[in-house]
Amino acid sequence: MELEEKGYLYLLIILPIFAVLFLYIQIWKRKKQHEFGDLDLIKKLSPDQSLFKPILKFIIILLAFAALIFGLVNPKIGTKIETVKREGIDIVFAMDVSKSMLAEDVAPSRLEKSKQIVSQIINQLGNDRIGIVAYAGSAFPVLPITTDYGVAKMFLQSTNANMVSSQGTSLEDAIELSSTYFDKGNKTSKLLILLSDGEDHTEGAESAAAEANKNGMKIITIGLGTEKGGPIPIKQNGVVESFKRDNNNDVVITKLNPESLEKIAKATKGSYINGSNTKQVVESVKKALENIQKTEFEATQMANFQSQFQWFLGIAFALLFLDIFLSERATSWIKKLNLFNEKE
């Protein structure tokens, strides 16, 4: 059994609080009756008043409230065990987060455009495992290989131009770090999707790609930006205050460099895709994935859990319905039981 919404269990704390409050009210009422007059006289004036019925009604309401809480928690019971085999490939997304990716020559910016593309590609995946690497002057592991696409998207949206301290763009570091994500002894197909404007400030990216290809890794490069280029905005609270300038105080214009990205892709017999049109990029990647051999990489036992909340909600409503028709007046059989020694 598993509990889907365990946080609601904290509401059970209210039950003993209600019980203490009810007990206090009963003691207070008893005390006031003593102050009002003789208890025997009060009993004669209200012979049908029951001590048991209010307690019974309170217990019913308390049980109904407890059932509602367990309904919110939604206990699940495994009904069967089945073997699930997954076939797919391992994919690493290498995200360029250098300052040049803040240029807005493609809307809303090169970096935001790359996030949109990766998110749309993830939506097209099935049983593939994915990981994320961020890089600028050096590479930084963001998310290890996982099948949890929801978590991957959360980490994807958290990538920004401030997460890597060393500036510049090192495509070589991005490829080398991404290679470590893949198990060399594993026969699972390996794919690196590298997103960048191609402005590489180091040498060695092509040789790193060739080395990665020896280990069975294919690279698809996606170019962000335009060859005409654009300035790099410096923003404060989302408002552009100025643009990045060089040592001569001239505004820096960053341009897409597709040649470097094409060479990297060619070194692994991959492909280069211009990232200006998100839909076309996703379609191109989808076609490329169809031509990559899928490998069985996981076989796990999974329990098919079924929700049981409806039973608890049914019990809760039945108890509340019963409480509506339960009066606080004493009935003949209750009088005969004399549960609280009401008879002398």
137-152 per-position pLDDT tens digit:
899 999 999 888 999 9
| DSSP state, residue 165 | S
Give the tokens for residue 204: 């060695």
**Lookup: tokens for 211:** 């080395």
pLDDT of residue 231: 94
Query: Tokens 């031509």, residue?
Result: 291
How far is residue 43 from each of residues 30, 163, 200, 222, measured CA to CA in Å?
Answer: 12, 77, 94, 88
Task: In whole angstroms, give the CA distance from residue 298 to residue 83.
Answer: 10
Residue 223 phi, psi (nearest 5) = -90, 130
What pLDDT sits at residue 82? 61
Q: Say which residue the tokens 């004493």 belong to.
A: 330
Question: DSSP letter string over 274-292?
Answer: ETT-HHHHHHHHHHHHHTS
Helix (H, G, I), strand (E, B) or coil at 299: strand
pLDDT of 147-182, one tens digit each?
A: 889 999 999 999 998 888 777 788 999 999 999 999
| Rounded-to-integer distance, Cα 158 and Cα 160, Å | 6
Distance CA 331, CA 52 (A): 10
Separation in Å, CA 115 to CA 145, 159, 174: 18, 9, 17
Coil/strand/helix, residue 273: strand
Domains of the chain from N-terminus onward: 2-74+308-337 (no CATH), 84-299 (3.40.50.410)
Parallel/antiparallel/unpaired status of strands 233-236 and 230-231: unpaired
> Which residue, among 275, 274, 249, 98, has the nearest Cα to 171 in the 3D structure?
98
CA dihedral of residues 251, 259, 197, 122 (deg, nearest 10): 170
Chain position carrying tokens 């654009």 = 230
Q: Residue 340: its pLDDT value, please?
A: 46
Q: What is the pLDDT along the chain (344 residues), one digit of tens a residue?
A: 667 788 888 888 989 998 999 889 888 877 776 766 565 655 555 555 566 677 888 898 999 999 999 888 888 776 655 666 778 899 999 999 999 999 999 999 999 999 999 999 999 998 889 999 999 989 999 999 988 899 999 999 999 988 887 777 889 999 999 999 998 777 788 999 999 999 877 788 999 999 999 988 999 999 999 989 999 998 888 788 889 998 889 999 999 999 999 999 999 999 999 999 999 999 999 999 988 888 776 655 556 667 788 888 999 899 888 877 776 555 554 455 554 454 54
Rounded Cα–Cα distance for residues 114 and 278 (Å): 9
What's the whole-model pTM score? 0.63
Considering only CA atoms, which of 88, 164, 150, 160 is closest in space to residue 119? 150
Coil, strand or helix at 91? strand
pLDDT at 272: 96
